[in-house]
Chain A
Amino acid sequence: MKQMTFAEGLSLGLQESLEQDERVVLIGAGFGGLTPYRSAYAPIRGRFSERITDPPIAELGYCGIAIGAAMTGLRPIVAMGTGAFSFEAFPQIANEAPQAYYGTRGQVTCPVVFHMMTGIRGAGALQHSSSPQSMYWNTPGLQLVVPGSPADARGLMKTVALRSENPTIFIDHQRLQGVTGMVDEADAGEIPLGVAEVKREGTDVTIVAVSVMVARALEAAEKLATEGISAEVVDPRTLVPLDKATILKSVAKTGRVVVADESQLSCGVASELAAIIAEEGFESLRAPVKRVAIPNVPIPFHESEEKYITPSAGWIINAVKQICN
C-alpha cells in the first residue's frame, strides 16, 4: 500500500495499460495540464514514446482518427487536454463513436477513450473552464467515467483501456491532480464500471459526490462530524453505467441527500442524480434533495468572482444544514 497523488495513480494506470496490451496507443500525452503534478506522467513518455503520437491542433481530425483506429484493431486513448477542446471534436465524439455498436447491431466495436480535464481550474476564464460531462451523459452510447481518487483513477483507466469495448469519456480535473490516497500496487486494482463506493460511512445524511467534489465532500464530512452531523459520502465513480443500488441504499439509510458535481446546475450531473433519487428513492426521503453545482453562468476570470461561483466544501456543508436540523 502506498500513498500517491491522483496524477501518480492515473500515470500508473496508463503505464500498466500500455505494458499489458500493445494495442493501447496514446494520441497526445499531455496529462496533468499546467499543474506541477504533470511530472508524474513523464515516465509514460520515457517508457513508451513509440506508442505516443503527438497530433497537430486538430481535435475533430484526431478524435475521428482515434475512432477509426479503434474500429480497426487498436485501443487508443486520446489526451484532449482541456474539456472545452472536446467541443471542437463534438461531431466525431457524439455523432460517430456511439453509432459503431448500436448502429451495427453489435457488429462493430469502438474501444476508444477520450480523456479530458474539465471544470474550474483557476484563471481558466470563459473558454478553459467548461464542464461538459452532462452533455456526454445525455449522449447515449458513451460511457462516462469520473474517478475522484488515485486508486479509482488507476483502476478505472485500466478497465476502460484494457477491458471495455465501448467509447468512453474519462473525466479528469486539474484540481484533482494533487489529491492523495492509498493505492495497492501489488493488486491489479482494476475497478469494474457501474460500481459506486462509499468513501465514508455515516448515518444522518448522504452526500453523493462526483470527481473533484469527492475530496470536497470528504472535507465537508469531517467538518460536519465536529458539529455532530454524521455524513455518508457516496462516490459513483462512473456515471454511465451508474450504480443506482448503492446510492439508493445510502438514501434509504439516511433519508437526506445532497448531490454535488462541478458542472452547471441546469441539466447537470447533480440534477440527473437528484431526479433519479427523487423518483426511485422517494419513500426514503425525509427532506428535499439538494443539489450543489455551479450556477448557470460562464466562468469569470478573476479569482474573487471565480471562487464565488465554484462549488466548495462550504457549499456542501450549507446544503446539508438546510436539510438536517
Chain B
Amino acid sequence: MATALSNAALRAALYRMLLMRRAEEEVIDLATNHENEIRGHYHVYIGQESSGLGACLALGPDDYVWTTHRNHGHVIARGGEPGPVIAEVIGRTNGYNKGRGGTFHVIAKHLGILQTSGIVGGCVPMAVGAAFSIKTRKTDQVSLVFFGDGVLEEGAFHEAINMASLWKLPVIFMCENNSVPPEGREQGQYPSSSLAATQLIDVPNAMNIESHIVDGSDIRAVAPLLSDLVVRARNGEGPFFVESRLTRWPGNMGAFPELIGGPYQIGWVWDPSTADAALQSWLTDSDPIALFARALVEEGVMSKAEVEADDAKASAEAADAKAFALSGPIPEPESAMDYIFA
C-alpha cells in the first residue's frame, strides 16, 4: 500500500497542478488573441489536473502513457515541460513532437508517451499492445491509458479490454469521466446518456477486470489508489480499470474552451463568491486546485501566501513557456515530405 505523500510532495503536486492550469490558459490565449496560431479545434485539461497528476505520480520512468485529444495536461503531469508542450500545440519545431502533431498529438517519446489519438478509443488497443509487449519481453513496465467516458461506447474498447483480461496484461485503464455532478463523484450509480450501463464500471466488471471508482477531483484519493494498482500490475495482477469521476469545468461546456470571467484568480479559492456566477458552485465543490489548496492551508501544510506565491511562479513559468513556443521555428514547408518511412 502506498504511503501518504509528504508535505514537500503535496506542495510540489499543487505547484504542478497550477502549472498545468496556467499552461492551458496560455493555450487559450494563443487561440483567442493570436491570429492563426491555433487554427482548428483544441481541448484543455482545466479542471482535471488532480486526476492526471495523481495517476502519473504512481508511474515510473519506463512506463508507457497513452492519451487522447485532451493530452496537454497529461504530458505536463507526466513530467513534460510546458514550453515544448505549448510549442507543439502551435506546431513549432521546438515542440515535443517537432511541430508535426499539433494539439491532438503532443507526443513525447522520452516520457513514454508514444501516441495520443484523436480518434475516440484509438489509443486503447495500442495501450493493450504495449502491455502485451511488456509481458512478452518480461519487463516490469506498466502501460497506462487515459481516455474519456465516451470511449466506452466504442467497439474498440470492448475488444481491447477483452484481450487485456483474457491475457492478464499489465495495463491500467484510466477512464476520466468528466460528466459527473458533485454528488455523484464519490459513490453511487451514475447513468450515462450514451452508454446503456448503469455505471461505467459494470462493463469492465462483466469482463472480470478489477474496477474502481475514485473521486478524480481529489488527488489524495487518486494517487494512493493508482500507486497500489501500478505495483500490483507490475506483479502480474492486472489489468485494472479506474473510473476517475470529475465535474466538468464550466469553461469546457461549449465547443471551444472559454475563460469565464478571465484567467483563474487564486483569490477565488478562498472566496468563490468573488468569481463569475457560472463558476461559483464549481469552485466550491469541484475545482481540484481549489479543493486541494483549501485543504493544504487548513491542515497547515501551506499558508495562503505560499499558495499565492506558487501560483505566481506557475503563471510566470507558463508565460515563459508561451514565449518559448512563439519563438519556435515554423517547419520548413518541404519538410512535409520527410519522415514518411523510416
Docked complex Cα distance between A91 and B133 (Å)? 21
Partner of B132, one of A60, A68, A91, A165: A68
Q: CB-nearest residue of chain B relative to A96?
A: B122
Size category of the binding interface on chain A: 35 or more
Check B20 for interface membership: any CB of A closer than 8 A.
Answer: no
Check A125 for interface membership: any CB of B closer than 8 A.
Answer: no
Check A92 for interface membership: any CB of B closer than 8 A.
Answer: yes
Chain A residues contacting B259 (CB-CB under 8 Å) are none
Check A289 for interface membership: any CB of B closer than 8 A.
Answer: no
Query: What does the 1/0 interface line of A70-90 toward B look like (CB < 8 Å)?
Result: 111110100000000000000
Check B196 for interface membership: any CB of A closer than 8 A.
Answer: no
Interface residue total, chain B, C-beta cutoff 8 A: 43
Docked complex Cα distance between A67 and B166 (Å)? 19
Check A99 for interface membership: any CB of B closer than 8 A.
Answer: yes
Q: Smallest Cβ distance from A23 to chain B, in angstroms?
A: 8
Partner of B133, one of A56, A74, A105: A74
Check B233 for interface membership: any CB of A closer than 8 A.
Answer: no
Check B109 for interface membership: any CB of A closer than 8 A.
Answer: yes
Query: What does the 1/0 interface line of A89-121 toward B look like (CB < 8 Å)?
Result: 001100110011111111111000000000000
Chain A residues contacting B338 (CB-CB under 8 Å) are 105-106
Q: Smallest Cβ distance from A105 to chain B, in angstroms?
A: 4
Partner of B122, one of A56, A91, A101, A102: A91
User: Knowing A101-B340, A141-B340 touch, does A56 contact B130 (C-beta < 8 A)?
Assistant: no
Check A62–B115 contact: CB distance below 8 A: no
Q: Smallest Cβ distance from A65 to chain B, in angstroms?
A: 4
Check A181 for interface membership: any CB of B closer than 8 A.
Answer: no
Chain B residues contacting A99 (CB-CB under 8 Å) are 105, 115
Check B156–A91 contact: CB distance below 8 A: yes
Q: CB-nearest residue of chain B relative to A109?
A: B342
Chain B residues contacting A100 (CB-CB under 8 Å) are 114-115
Partner of B130, one of A60, A62, A72, A105: A72
Within 8 A of A (CB), among B94-140: 97-101, 105, 107, 109, 114-115, 117, 119, 122, 124-134, 136-137
Check A140–B340 contact: CB distance below 8 A: yes
Chain B residues contacting A58 (CB-CB under 8 Å) are 158-159, 162-163
Check A292 for interface membership: any CB of B closer than 8 A.
Answer: no
User: Knowing A65-B129, A96-B122, A105-B97 touch, does A56 contact B162 (C-beta < 8 A)?
Assistant: yes
Partner of B160, one of A61, A91, A104: A61
Partner of B127, one of A25, A68, A102, A107: A68
User: Knowing A63-B125, A64-B125, A64-B129 touch, does A106 contact B339 (C-beta < 8 A)?
Assistant: yes
Q: Smallest Cβ distance from B155 to chain A, in angstroms?
A: 6
Check A143–B341 contact: CB distance below 8 A: yes
Check B256 for interface membership: any CB of A closer than 8 A.
Answer: no
Partner of B159, one of A60, A66, A104: A60
Docked complex Cα distance between A68 and B109 (Å)? 13
Chain B residues contacting A166 (CB-CB under 8 Å) are 341-342
Chain A residues contacting B99 (CB-CB under 8 Å) are 105
Docked complex Cα distance between A115 and B338 (Å)? 27
User: Knowing A64-B128, A73-B133, A74-B136 touch, does A165 contact B156 (C-beta < 8 A)?
Assistant: no
User: Knowing A61-B159, A62-B163 touch, does A95 contact B126 (C-beta < 8 A)?
Assistant: no
Check A108–B341 contact: CB distance below 8 A: no
Partner of B114, one of A65, A71, A76, A106: A71
Check A69 for interface membership: any CB of B closer than 8 A.
Answer: yes
Question: Ordered nearest first, which 4 A-B pairs have the shortest CB separation?
Answer: A64-B125, A68-B129, A61-B159, A68-B126
Complex A-B: 5 CB contacts under 8 Å: A60-B125, A61-B156, A64-B126, A69-B133, A92-B126
Given contacts A96-B117, A104-B98, 5 further A-B contacts (CB under 8 A): A64-B128, A66-B129, A71-B130, A91-B119, A103-B107
